[in-house]
Structure 1
Amino acid sequence: MSSILFSPIELGRLRLSNRIIVSPMCQYSAQQGSAGDWHRVHLGQMAQSAAGMLLLEATAVEDIGRITHGCLGLYSDANESALGAVLESVRAMGSLPIGVQLAHAGRKASSARPWEGGALIAADAGGWATVAPSPLPHGDGEAAPAELDAAGLTRIRQAFVRSAQRAVRIGLQSIELHVAHGYLLHQFLSPLANVRGDAYGGSAQARMRYPLEVFDAVRQAVPDSVPVGVRVSATDWVEGGLDLEQTIAFALELKSRGCAWIDVSSGGVSPRQRIALGPGYQVHLAQAVRESTGLPTMAVGLITEPQQAEDIVREGRADMVALARAMLWDPRWPWHAAAALGASVEVPPQYWRSEPRDARGVFAHASVGQR
């Protein structure tokens, strides 16, 4: 039986050779939002992975939208030039499509890097003032963000548009909007972070209004050839927070607007969340969204084994699997999965001679001798 994990799939007009996605992974290694040597090497490894698509890390649409000082951005000419130069090198390493996840951290911005503790950095200690749907801090003892007014909402919506246009100019082939993990657009969706009294707060329908406006603006601003997808947190894992039913309603609205895929994660908006971790612990959420909407769906979260990934797709629980930590641990994960599942992948000819004897045929077109 042939592997369905290694069968092609189309996202809008973009064809992927298989259903393994390199998930966006923050590297916290940019300078003033600009990519550099770390990104060139890191993304070069991922480009040689033979995955179906590589999504760049959460990329801020304005400087105060960065999670940390080291987060990637696409809000300036310098950012655009630096990332374009990195991508020019990376594309020489592999032919897989490359997209970007556009994001704004909202009240979770101005934070220390994870290995530096991850806490909010106060403005008088080298951080910056943050913004959010409502003046509610993320954690106890943190400074409250400023509530976004009409001008702020317009500014950030246009920042998403400009960053999307920059992405297209440097040849990125897809865009994912980050509406998850407690960042700004997720903050609008969640009643734990959004207590506004205007048209952008209150009911679930009102709370999804701003993220939908951002999606519409980005979708309109980029060519039809560039698919636009969305990552969601399907549940806040907190009583009274965003739940699966509300997420499905949001996904149906996205589908009607031309959303190309839905990437289903969870949590991140509240320190009070309680998540029972285990292999594939979020897959049931992806399955529910897929069954209710029919949108091409990515499952993510402790998917580590080839047969596990194959079963998720074969059993219809998701259309694709998105891998993050598994890819950092093993940047050749798709090679090894292909060997385990009897499939083949295309890899750079410089590596053909590495094909093990017991995995003959895993490298498509591999035929090279030794002088």
Structure 2
Amino acid sequence: MRPFDYERPRRVEAALAAVEQTPGAVYLGGGTNLVDLMRLGVVEPECLVDVTGLPCDRIEEDGGGLRIGAAVRIGDLAAHPAVRRRFPMLAQAALRGGSGQIMNMATVAGNLLQRTRCPYFNDVTKPCNKREPGSGCPARNGEHRNLAIIGHSAACVATHPSDLAVALAALDATVCVEGVAGPRRVPLTGLYRPPGDDPRRDTVLEPADLITGIEVPAPRVTARSRYRKVSDRASFAFAVVSVAVVLDLGVRNDGETGGLAEGRAVRDCRIVFGGIAPMPWRAVRAEEELRGARAAEPDFARAARAELAAARPLRDNAFKVPLARNLLVRTLTELME
């Protein structure tokens, strides 16, 4: 590992100045992703600016919603009473994000900003457009079983690995960012960039931008939610496919019996997939199909097919299409119970 400088500012302004004024400086949270990339030689920062000492490590209830500090540890998020009581889907996603050791170190902001686990990105002996634009994407014809089936480009088929980002996107969360030009708020669904022709940048953040917190609005009283994840192992594994669903049910007004499941309709929903795209994938087509439709398995299956019609799987990951479809249908069906 190359030598590097280290700073631990106590104020947000000092952290911003350190990264802006020091070429090659990057922010350091828990380090569970960044340090691995440094050991592999994928990134070689000149200076690490440790932001875990900033006053961004609290979870506060706010009008029925939450404000989650960027430096909150994943384990603390999963165990927080307000999260478990009002946002169980968020706790479910946090608990599926890694081992106990990782959860005790990794921060919320770091989890959202972790880099892809594509094997070619992590191997500096191989070409990779995400590391060196124009060098190629060997994953397209190589090892891509766990990579993207939708939203990818000819330049990059990597997937985003965060479980937490998928759940937060479904909860309509907003990211609070401090930058050189001042503070701003970015919808979590607008935080990530599609790969396009230059996949180096995963997000819309500028180099000195610092996430200070995440705001989660109050849930609808009648909404049900769930996060489900399919992985190669029961724990300590990234998602092959995951889905976060928020479902709000009403009663059909077409004369059917109101109190029974077959008399229910989908009043509103939010669906976000993980493990299938370069970012948390908002299933807009499926949501449109479901709003006002019967809350029944055939309608769930139709919505899933509509969303995944745009999938462009590669040679070895076409199995993700029926897997994602079945996972969404099963999750929606379980939320009816």
Provide the TM-score with structure 2 as the length reference. 0.26
User: Would you tell me which structure has more helix in proportion to its own residues?
Assistant: 1
TM-score of the aligned structures, taking structure 1 as reference length: 0.24
